[in-house]
């Protein structure tokens, strides 16, 4: 049982596209069928190699692997030509030479009468041999199909136009290419956004004219932004890779997308394996789904807290490289990750928190420095005591902070805060005793000295 994802390479992989890809992927995997990737690049003016690369990158990051492809429609032109000839020869398609002017007048006339703008079949029986090629849509009867998400749909053929299937230059149009490829690729269910639902009856008529077995169709409801309008750039980041940049884990985004219009009881957390195991088209909602950024962040935090440290490190690597943070063996990265994961909602926060362990700095935050380093006594006393500390553990370090506070008759914070600033440079650090332990004695003493010179 095969499904496919058929993006047009005219931009990045968007949240909506990724959700479509995920559902088609999950369905195929669940059925132990093939998931096929087909790039619909026939619109040469709008397609680009960079977009193809961006789509592949997004899918690969999300782990949406395909069993076949990527196929490119531009490599199938001969096949489309053959099918168009077949339709012409069997009288199911015809050439049309109507001028743009005539078509415009026709449209205006029909619309003035309150009728649907539709081609009037002017060239249908003229036996022309050039121009655009139109499919001769059946004149009467209904196209009826049961969409696996939306249910039974019936459209009267009188509503449907004699569709252009080839332009004057012979190039095929979307409805023709999609039918040919879905048939050739033995697609069992066409899973796509419901923005294409109006095309489906036209495509069904093409299948029937060609004598081809119909696939099933499943049209996914659209995704809305918080304001109830269709999710778009206006609502913030919509490209999958922007979520990577913002520090999301792929499994968090995948889990989030899975629940965007699909459910399995009231379960919220799905591993990738569970998505595959439990996915059913009948549980896709008919109504549009709303994008909820807070929920996505909540999921991300959940996965950051629970993921194996090695996996976090693998995903972090991309952020570290981007920020030129180099992990050295001096400090155990896994201990650092453990110390940070509870405080981090995103990998960006985590990478940011990692920085102080692997990058020395030369200055402190000016305002915080003025505030916390004014009184040197706590830092001086800390330095003196830490210098001679032998068992370099968080517990011992904590005891020293407490002792310094006690000797100076101040609260723990009056020592902890300057210490935190001294070690981090900007005051952003977790539990200070643990941070000091992880940093190691050398770095701690150096940074304390630097703070004293502030
Ligand atoms: N290439 C179309 C698009 O990106 C999808 C066509 C389809 O899935 O049938 O909107």
pLDDT on residue 393: 97
pLDDT on residue 61: 97
Q: What burial class does residue 219 get, using C-beta atoms within 10 Å of its C-beta: 0-12 exposed, 13-18 middle, 19+ buried?
A: buried
Residues within 6 Å of ligand 1 by CB: 6-8, 40, 178, 192, 196
Q: What is the Å distance from ligand 1's center to 181 Cα?
A: 12
pLDDT on residue 168: 96
Please give the number of the atom of ligand 1 that sits closest to the Cα of 178.
9
Q: What is the Å distance from ligand 1's center to 17 Cα?
A: 9
User: Could you report the per-residue pLDDT of 161-201, keeping only the tens digit for each?
Assistant: 999 999 999 999 999 999 999 999 999 999 999 999 999 99
**Does residue 286 surpass a pLDDT of 90?**
yes
Q: What is the Å distance from ligand 1's center to 227 Cα?
A: 26
Residue closest via CA to ligand 1's atom 6 equals: 6
pLDDT on residue 235: 87
Please give the number of the atom of ligand 1 that sits closest to the Cα of 17.
4
Q: Find the mean pLDDT for residues 369-392.
A: 97
User: Could you report the per-residue pLDDT of 317-351, keeping only the tens digit for each?
Assistant: 999 999 999 999 999 999 999 999 999 999 999 99
Q: What is the Å distance from ligand 1's center to 6 Cα?
A: 5
Question: 12 in the Ramachandran plot: left (φ > 0), alpha (ψ -120 to 50) or beta?
Answer: beta
Q: Find the mean pLDDT for residues 274-282.
A: 98
Please give the number of the atom of ligand 1 that sits closest to the Cα of 195.
10
User: Could you report the per-residue pLDDT of 349-373, keeping only the tens digit for each?
Assistant: 999 999 999 999 999 999 999 999 9
Q: What is the Å distance from ligand 1's center to 23 Cα?
A: 14
In the beta sheet, which residues pair with residue 35?
3
Q: Find the mean pLDDT for residues 416-421.
A: 97
- Cβ partners under 8 Å of residue 252, min gap 6: 296, 299, 300, 302, 303, 304
Q: Of 399, 402, 425, 397, nearest to 415 (Cα)?
A: 402
User: What's the pTM?
Assistant: 0.93
Q: What is the Å distance from ligand 1's center to 192 Cα?
A: 7
Please give the number of the atom of ligand 1 that sits closest to the Cα of 199.
9
Q: Which domains does the chain have, with CATH numbers?
A: 1-306 (3.40.50.620), 366-453 (1.10.10.350)
**Does residue 262 surpass a pLDDT of 90?**
yes
Please give the number of the atom of ligand 1 that sits closest to the Cα of 193.
8
For ligand 1, pick from 4, 8, 17, 27 the residue to mutate: most ligand atoms within 8 Å of CB.
8
* Cα–Cα distance for residue pair 421/282, rounded to 1 Å: 55
Q: 295-299, 395-399, 427-431 — which is least confidently predicted?
A: 427-431
């Amino acid at each position: 049982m095969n499904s496919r994802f058929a993006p047009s390479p005219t931009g990045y992989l968007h949240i909506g596209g990724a959700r479509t890809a995920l559902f088609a992927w999950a369905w195929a995997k669940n059925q132990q069928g093939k998931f096929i990737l087909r790039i619909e690049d026939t619109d040469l003016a709008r397609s680009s190699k960079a977009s193809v690369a961006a789509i592949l990158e997004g899918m690969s990051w999300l782990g949406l692997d395909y069993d076949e492809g990527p196929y490119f429609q531009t490599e199938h032109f001969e096949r489309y030509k053959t099918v168009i000839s077949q339709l012409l020869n069997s009288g199911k398609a015809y050439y049309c030479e109507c001028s743009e002017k005539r078509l415009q007048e026709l449209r205006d006339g029909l619309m003035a009468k309150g009728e649907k703008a539709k081609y009037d079949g002017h060239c249908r029986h003229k036996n022309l041999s050039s121009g655009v090629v139109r499919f001769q849509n059946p004149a009467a009867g209904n196209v009826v199909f049961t969409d696996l998400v939306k249910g039974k749909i019936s459209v009267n053929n009188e509503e449907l136009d004699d569709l252009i299937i080839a332009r004057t230059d012979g190039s095929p149009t979307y409805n023709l290419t999609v039918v040919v490829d879905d048939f050739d690729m033995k697609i069992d269910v066409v899973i796509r956004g419901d923005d294409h639902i109006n095309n489906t009856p036209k495509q069904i008529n093409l299948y029937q004219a060609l004598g081809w077995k119909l696939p099933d169709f499943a049209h996914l409801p659209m995704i809305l932004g918080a304001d109830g309008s269709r999710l778009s750039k206006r609502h913030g980041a919509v490209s999958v890779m922007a979520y990577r940049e913002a520090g999301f884990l792929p499994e968090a985004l995948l889990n989030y997308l899975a629940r965007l219009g699909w459910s399995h009881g009231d379960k919220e957390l799905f591993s990738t394996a569970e998505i595959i195991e439990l996915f059913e088209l009948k549980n896709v909602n008919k109504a549009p789904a709303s994008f909820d950024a807070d929920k996505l962040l909540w999921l991300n935090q959940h996965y950051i807290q629970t993921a194996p440290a090695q996996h976090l490190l693998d995903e972090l690597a991309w952020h570290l490289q981007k920020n030129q943070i180099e992990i050295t063996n001096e400090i155990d990265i896994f201990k650092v990750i453990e110390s940070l994961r509870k405080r981090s909602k995103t990998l960006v926060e985590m990478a940011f928190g990692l920085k102080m362990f692997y990058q020395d700095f030369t200055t402190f935050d000016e305002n915080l420095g003025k505030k916390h380093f004014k009184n040197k006594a706590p830092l001086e006393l800390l330095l003196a005591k830490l210098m001679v500390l032998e068992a370099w553990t968080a517990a011992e370090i904590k005891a020293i902070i407490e002792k310094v506070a006690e000797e100076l008759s101040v609260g723990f914070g009056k020592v902890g805060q300057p210490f935190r600033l001294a070690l981090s440079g900007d005051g952003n650090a977790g539990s200070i005793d643990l941070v000091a332990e992880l940093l190691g004695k050398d770095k701690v003493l150096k940074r304390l000295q630097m703070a004293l010179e502030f």
